[in-house]
Amino acid sequence: MLEVEGIHTYYGLSHILFDVSLRVEAGEVVCLLGRNGAGKTTTLKSVMGVTPPKRGRIRFNGEEIVGRPPHVLAQMGMGYVPDDRRIFPDLTVRENLEIAAKDPAGHRQWDRDRVYALFPALREKEPVKGGHLSGGEQKMLAIARALMGNPELLLLDEPMEGLAPLLVRALEEQVLKLKAISLTVLLAEQNVHSALRLSDRCYVIDDGHIRFQGSVLDLKENEEVRRRYLLV
């Protein structure tokens, strides 16, 4: 579904991603693991057209997408949940979801009820303003908003970050439910344990370079990679 081939991405003159390649097949949950500053967010932003790569190719369902703006990619079926959870603090949960809804073009259909079935906590908070939700609830709302756009591929940037262990578990369960309905997910994570629980395959990025790729089992068994690039 997603093929990233040898991309180089810059912020101004700073060269950040070097020849990054990865692929995500339909129905897979693929994890991009790396420490602080490794290049995870930049990779997702490159895919989503926020910081387009200067070199390399990105294909989504076989179509070349480098140079297309984020809103066009969203229309093509990409959902993006940035690390800074983009919700509207002055709108209620219900309003946040309603304005995120998109006319589905033959894709799997998400509506409020379906989103609430996945995140029951949000149903209870329906009339509450986004800004009054807890950190965990805001993360759920950010993911819920992305789902309302009926994505085929969901890009999730560190959804577990800053959450208490109990909430991490809850969010993991929800991601596993998305996996069970075969939504395709590219997940950027620092939390190796979460990543290993959720993913089919992993890539490890460090200093803008992909240093490892393999199955979850391969990574579990590869202590050297984990120690060198992930500090676990």
Ligand X SMILES: Nc1ncnc2c1ncn2[C@@H]1O[C@H](COP(=O)(O)OP(=O)(O)OP(=O)(O)O)[C@@H](O)[C@H]1O
Nearer to ligand X, 3 or 83 (CB): 83
Cα–Cα distance, 191 to 186 (Å, whole number):
14
109 binds, among Mg ion, ligand X, none (CB under 5 to 8 A by kind): none
Least distance CB 91 / ligand X (angstroms): 26
**Phi and psi angles of residue 188, each rounded to the nearest 5 degrees, phi first:** -90, 130
Cβ atoms of 126 and 93 within 8 Å: the answer is yes
Cα–Cα distance, 159 to 143 (Å, whole number):
9
Per CB under 6 A, 190 contacts ligand X: yes
38 binds, among Mg ion, ligand X, none (CB under 5 to 8 A by kind): ligand X
Cα–Cα distance, 94 to 13 (Å, whole number):
42
Nearer to ligand X, 34 or 52 (CB): 34
Nearer to Mg ion, 118 or 156 (CB): 156
Per CB under 6 A, 14 contacts ligand X: yes
- Close Cβ partners of 93 (under 8 Å, ≥ 6 residues apart): 122, 125, 126, 127, 128, 130, 133, 141
Interacting residues toward Mg ion by CB under 5 A = 40-41
Per CB under 6 A, 199 contacts ligand X: no
Nearer to Mg ion, 41 or 191 (CB): 41
11 binds, among Mg ion, ligand X, none (CB under 5 to 8 A by kind): ligand X
Per CB under 6 A, 39 contacts ligand X: yes
The residue range among 31-39, 72-80, 131-139, 170-178 that interacts with ligand X, by the rule CB under 6 A, is: 31-39
Cα–Cα distance, 86 to 134 (Å, whole number):
14
Residue 34 in tokens: 């790396």
Among 15, 19, 25, 37, which residue sits at the site for ligand X (rule: CB under 6 A)? Answer: 37
Per CB under 6 A, 9 contacts ligand X: no
Least distance CB 38 / ligand X (angstroms): 4
Cβ atoms of 63 and 37 within 8 Å: the answer is no
42 binds, among ligand X, Mg ion, none (CB under 5 to 8 A by kind): ligand X
Helix axes 93-100, 135-148, angle to 10 degrees: 30
Beta bridge partners of 196: none
Interface residues toward ligand X, by CB under 6 A: 11, 14, 16, 34, 36-42, 83, 190
